[in-house]
């Protein structure tokens, strides 16, 4: 790997290396690598990732990427925009959704031209299939809009983007764990609030234990989600919300964090994802008596209703005693009528997952499924240029975010399937383009005297942690409590219980002990730091959920079961305003609101 | 609210847990002159994965045990390792599929420099990958998608499944003795483009793989095919590349 020899400095036994780039991208999943492909040819660019790029969780996405290509049947980007807005229960910023749907078409063509092996129609065009919430003419019937490569579309996107990064010679820093964002005062900033801008990041190199300072004009965060705040999740072990947590600790707000998507069809008990593409191909959800229960809840599009609705219906079926299995605690995904050929050619991976992990062959028997924590609709607030915002509309100079870690907001309170692979491509590209545009005209902001100081202290603290608390137990307690009390259904009482648990976990976290005192590949230390981010992020989710006293999209409050547009047709903006370890969450998290951008679609009742 | 547990099948069928002995090859370059084997007894369910066992060791017994993992369901390619002498992904190997009357032996994949415990340096592996030009080479700049028939698309379908986990390459006896050999994974990724009807770079890649460290080093031991967690017919793909080299075209 081309790594330039930088200047180094030493503090005790910690060596710090110093680098300088025009654009530094944090995260090498779909959004990060799409940004790199856009930025790399025009500016000195580095991509820093906790993992090897091809390990990123974009690779686990299965079903497809939406674009109104109209290769199979009539479709339009305007219908796609409407579906996205309605799917998000009208909390979507409609200007952003319009960009998403419009630029989707070029985004798919870009990927095909880069080499992505999409499935094809008999006449050689990109094949398309149905997906939840994507409809013809504003809800009349399901439409074939999802472009796909079997049930490994995310894998093919990740591979194709990596291949093109190799082609362009993009410089990667693999297994470098970014732990801090360097913010400095904007030169000549006037006004009552002192404005800050991004000046780089500080990373910990896993292989050596060395610290690296990356001085940059533009910094792009593309760090993915944080599903590991939950126990039952489709997310990778590494999705611990580090990027979002770094931003949070810098005092930048987080938007719409209460909206977390539970994907309906996780393998029961395990949470491993089975694509919605299965239902797109005709699979049916059934309860214990074999009833196709979605007919009762969404008579028009049934099993292709959006994920929030289906997840709630599944939990309701189980709560009312119609679940299957000895404990009546799951429902079934029935693919048996699709035939072996469709399963083997269009859904081979999920067929294998069911066989491997549950010992169930989807060709012959229905697969036990339950909702699994899947996707964060909320995150780092950005505008349509992927610029990060420090309040409702102030841009942080030099700082960009895209993909799941960002909230632009194209997903509102509930994301439609296939819109996330689209999001990373459209807004990843935009982050690349605008970060270069800024880097071309900006100067390097001077760094503080010792930019790595905080990270050095964080590492030293973690490495010498010799308390009695075990980090795995604390993490498990957090995840189980989040599953129990902040999952598909929430109440004031359940959320306050989680907040209390988090406070007690924070106290215990101060007293953890780790075993590994070494410098090389110290994954014990890594997990200790990750747990700190998980605690922070979980608390923001809970604090935001407490303040939204209504039910909308992925946020269902049993104590406030209706949507309340009069009061809550606004984005939630959570700010860290005090000591994170204080007992009462209201002491240190302040909730504010931000208007939703509405252009063409006034809110309506959401029926399918 | 429905509660979910991490192991419903254990609850449902009342499967008892049992003790499994893992014998792990440890190496910490900061403290050990040589690798050594260490035993761990772990309570497991038959539906657990080997990765769950490693996590139980790391989280409950010895936090210094070091290994890579991420997705935990066989798609990210982080946790290839030698399990009872065979290259497999720890997250795709279920305890019930192993003979647990015997200890389970775990060690790092072979042929790549050992960094720590189950972690190897992947850089030589990715360097071989980069050398075969693993990207679409096409001169046309269409403003729509390039057309490709389902039959043409099917021709390279198998090799698009590769997750670059290195299970194949590090199971190859030729690679063990000759680290310069491109290895199966790089050839698989060359195959993926050589047989793609949209690609124009086949000749370049065939020349690269006609090198003395190229496809002719393959001795068709089929270790790679057996090792592939994605079920790719690796040896067959290598054979197809050999034939293409002889033909001088895909």
Q: What is the DSSP string of A292-334?
A: -THHHH-TTTGGGS-HHHHHHHHHHHHHTT--BTTTT-BEEEE
Is B1 in contact with A319 (Cβ distance < 8 A)? yes
Q: How confident is the model at residue B24 (pLDDT cuts 50, 70, 90)?
A: very high
Q: Taking the CB of residue B99, how many other CB atoms lie within 10 A of it? A: 8
Residues 2-31 of A with CB under 8 A from B: none
pLDDT score, position A486: 97
pLDDT score, position A190: 60
Average pLDDT over residues B225-231: 98
Query: Does the pLDDT at position B11 exceed 50?
Result: no
What is the spatial distance between Cα A534 and Cα A511, in angstroms, rounded to a whole number? 16
pLDDT score, position A194: 75
Query: Does the pLDDT at position B12 exceed 80?
Result: no
pLDDT score, position A300: 93
> Which residues are within 8 A (CB) of B109 and not within 5 positions of it... i.e. 6 or more apart?
B80, B81, B82, B87, B120, B166, B167, B170, B171
* Nearest Cα residue to A540 out of A167, A143, A253: A253
Query: Does the pLDDT at position A2 exceed 50?
Result: no
Q: How confident is the model at residue A163 (pLDDT cuts 50, 70, 90)?
A: very high
Least confident window among A442-456, B6-20, B111-125: B6-20
pLDDT score, position B3: 40
Query: Does the pLDDT at position A222 exceed 80?
Result: yes
Average pLDDT over residues A292-316: 96
Note whether A205 and A175 are within 8 A (CB). yes
Mean pLDDT of chain B: 94
pLDDT score, position B10: 43
Average pLDDT over residues A394-407: 98
Query: Does the pLDDT at position A548 exceed 70?
Result: yes
Mean pLDDT of chain A: 96
Burial of A112 (C-beta count, 10 Å sphere; 0-12/13-18/19+): buried
Query: Does the pLDDT at position A404 exceed 50?
Result: yes
Please identify which residue in the block is written with the tokens 């012959």: A364
Average pLDDT over residues B56-81: 98
Q: Is A184 helix (H, G, I), strand (E, B) or coil?
A: strand
Choose the closest CB to B2 out of A121, A123, A329.
A329
Is A484 in contact with B3 (Cβ distance < 8 A)? yes
Average pLDDT over residues A311-338: 96
> Which residues are within 8 A (CB) of A517 and not within 5 positions of it... i.e. 6 or more apart?
A463, A464
Please identify which residue in the block is written with the tokens 């009069």: A566
What is the spatial distance between Cα A541 and Cα A482, in angstroms, rounded to a whole number? 10
Least confident window among A286-295, A365-374, A573-582: A573-582
Token representation of residue A28: 């090498």
CA-CA-CA-CA torsion sign (B123, B127, B129, B135): positive
Query: Does the pLDDT at position B4 exceed 60?
Result: no
* Residues on chain A touching B196 (C-beta within 8 angstroms): 115, 117
Q: Is A249 helix (H, G, I), strand (E, B) or coil?
A: helix
Q: Taking the CB of residue A477, how many other CB atoms lie within 10 A of it? A: 16
pLDDT score, position A12: 84
Q: Which residue of chain B is at minimal alpha-carbon distance from A487?
A: B1
pLDDT score, position A3: 44
SS3 content of chain A, % helix, strand, coil (to 5): 35, 25, 40
Clarify whether A307 is annotated catalytic. Answer: yes
Token representation of residue A77: 């980007």
Average pLDDT over residues A73-93: 98
> Which residues are within 8 A (CB) of A481 and not within 5 positions of it... i.e. 6 or more apart?
A497, A498, A501, A502
pLDDT score, position A13: 83
Average pLDDT over residues A454-475: 96
Q: Roughly how many angstroms between the first and final C-alpha of chain A, as a whole number? A: 51
> Which residues are within 8 A (CB) of A546 and not within 5 positions of it... i.e. 6 or more apart?
A492, A495, A496, A499, A585
What is the spatial distance between Cα A522 and Cα A536, in angstroms, rounded to a whole number? 22
Q: Which residue of chain A is at minimal alpha-carbon distance from B56?
A: A472
Is A118 in contact with B193 (Cβ distance < 8 A)? no
pLDDT score, position A11: 87
What is the spatial distance between Cα B21 and Cα A159, in angstroms, rounded to a whole number? 37
Q: Which residue of chain B is at minimal alpha-carbon distance from A515?
A: B63
SS3 content of chain B, % helix, strand, coil (to 5): 35, 15, 50
Out of A144, A145, A279, A307, pick the active-site residue: A307
Q: How confident is the model at residue B14 (pLDDT cuts 50, 70, 90)?
A: low
Average pLDDT over residues A260-279: 96
């Amino acid at each position: 790997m081309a790594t330039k020899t930088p200047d180094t400095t030493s503090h005790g036994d910690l060596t710090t290396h110093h680098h300088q780039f025009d654009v530094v991208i944090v995260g090498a999943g779909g959004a990060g690598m799409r940004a790199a492909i856009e930025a790399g040819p025009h500016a000195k660019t580095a991509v820093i990732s906790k993992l090897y790029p091809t390990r990123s969780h974009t690779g686990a996405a299965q079903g497809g990427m939406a674009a109104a290509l109209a290769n199979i049947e009539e479709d339009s980007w305007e219908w796609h925009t409407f579906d996205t807005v309605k799917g998000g229960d009208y909390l979507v910023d409609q200007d952003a959704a319009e960009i998403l749907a419009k630029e989707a078409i070029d985004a798919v063509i870009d990927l095909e031209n880069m080499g992505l092996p999409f499935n094809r129609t008999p006449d050689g065009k990109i094949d398309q299939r149905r997906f939840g919430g994507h409809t013809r003419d504003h809800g009349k019937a399901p439409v074939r809009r999802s472009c796909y490569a079997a049930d490994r579309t995310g894998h093919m996107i990740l591979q194709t983007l990596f291949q093109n990064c190799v082609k362009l010679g993009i410089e990667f820093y693999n297994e470098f764990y970014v732990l801090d964002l360097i913010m400095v005062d904007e030169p000549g900033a006037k006004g009552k609030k002192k404005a800050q801008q991004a000046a780089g990041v500080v990373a910990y190199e896993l292989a050596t234990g060395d610290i690296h300072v990356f001085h940059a004009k533009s910094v792009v965060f593309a760090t993915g989600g944080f599903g590991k705040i939950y126990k039952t999740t489709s997310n990778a072990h590494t999705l611990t919300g580090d990027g979002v947590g770094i931003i949070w600790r810098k005092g930048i707000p987080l938007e719409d964090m209460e909206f977390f998507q539970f994907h309906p069809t996780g393998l029961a008990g395990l949470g491993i994802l089975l694509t919605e593409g299965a239902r797109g191909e005709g699979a049916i959800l059934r309860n214990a008596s074999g009833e196709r229960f979605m007919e009762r809840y969404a008579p028009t599009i049934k099993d292709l209703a959006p994920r929030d609705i289906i997840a709630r219906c599944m939990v309701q079926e189980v709560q009312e005693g119609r679940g299957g299995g000895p404990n009546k605690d799951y429902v079934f995904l029935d693919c048996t009528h699709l035939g072996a050929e469709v399963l083997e050619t269009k859904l081979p991976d999920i067929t294998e997952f069911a066989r491997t992990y549950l010992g169930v062959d989807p060709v012959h028997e229905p697969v036990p499924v339950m909702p699994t924590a899947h996707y964060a609709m909320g995150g780092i607030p950005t505008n349509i240029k992927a610029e990060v915002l420090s309040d409702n509309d102030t841009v942080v100079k030099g700082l960009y975010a895209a993909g799941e870690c960002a909230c632009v907001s194209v997903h509102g309170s509930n994301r439609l399937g296939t819109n996330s692979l689209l999001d990373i491509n459209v807004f990843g590209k935009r982050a690349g383009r605008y970060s270069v545009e800024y880097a071309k005209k900006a100067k390097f902001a001077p760094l503080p005297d010792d930019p790595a100081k905080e990270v050095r202290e964080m590492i030293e603290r973690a490495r010498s942690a010799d308390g009695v608390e075990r980090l795995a137990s604390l993490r498990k307690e957090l995840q189980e409590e989040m599953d129990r009390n902040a999952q598909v259904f929430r109440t004031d009482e359940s959320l306050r219980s989680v907040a209390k648990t988090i406070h007690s976990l924070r106290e215990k976290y101060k007293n953890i002990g780790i075993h590994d005192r070494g410098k090389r590949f110290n994954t014990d230390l890594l997990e200790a730091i990750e747990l700190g981010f998980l605690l922070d992020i979980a608390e923001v989710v809970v604090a935001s959920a407490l303040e939204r006293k209504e039910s909308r999209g992925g946020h269902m409050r049993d104590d406030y079961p209706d949507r309340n547009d009069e009061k809550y047709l606004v984005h939630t903006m959570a700010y860290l305003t005090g000591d994170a370890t204080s007992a009462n969450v209201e002491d240190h998290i302040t909730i504010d609101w931000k208007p939703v951008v509405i252009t063409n679609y006034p809110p309506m009742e959401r029926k399918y | 609210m429905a509660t979910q547990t991490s192991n419903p099948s254990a609850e449902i069928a009342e499967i008892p847990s049992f003790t499994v002995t893992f014998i792990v090859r440890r190496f910490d370059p900061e403290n050990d002159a040589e690798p050594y084997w260490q035993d761990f007894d772990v309570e497991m369910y038959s539906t657990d994965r080997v990765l769950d066992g490693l996590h139980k060791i790391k989280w409950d017994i010895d936090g210094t045990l070091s290994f890579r993992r991420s997705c935990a369901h066989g798609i990210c390619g982080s946790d290839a390792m030698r399990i009872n002498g065979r290259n497999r992904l720890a997250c795709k190997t279920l305890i019930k599929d192993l003979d647990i009357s015997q200890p389970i032996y775990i060690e790092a994949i072979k042929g790549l420099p050992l960094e720590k415990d189950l972690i190897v340096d992947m850089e030589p592996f990715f360097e071989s990958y980069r050398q075969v030009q693993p990207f679409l080479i096409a001169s046309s700049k269409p403003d729509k998608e390039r057309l490709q028939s389902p039959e043409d698309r099917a021709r390279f379908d198998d090799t698009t499944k590769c997750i670059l986990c290195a299970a194949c390459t590090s199971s190859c006896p030729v690679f063990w003795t000759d680290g310069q050999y491109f290895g199966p994974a790089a050839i698989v990724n060359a195959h993926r483009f050589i047989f793609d009807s949209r690609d124009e770079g086949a000749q370049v890649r065939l020349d690269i793989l006609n090198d003395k460290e190229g496809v002719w080093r393959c001795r068709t031991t089929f270790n790679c095919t057996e090792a592939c967690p994605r079920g790719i017919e690796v040896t067959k793909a290598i054979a197809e590349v050999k034939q293409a080299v002889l033909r001088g075209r895909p």
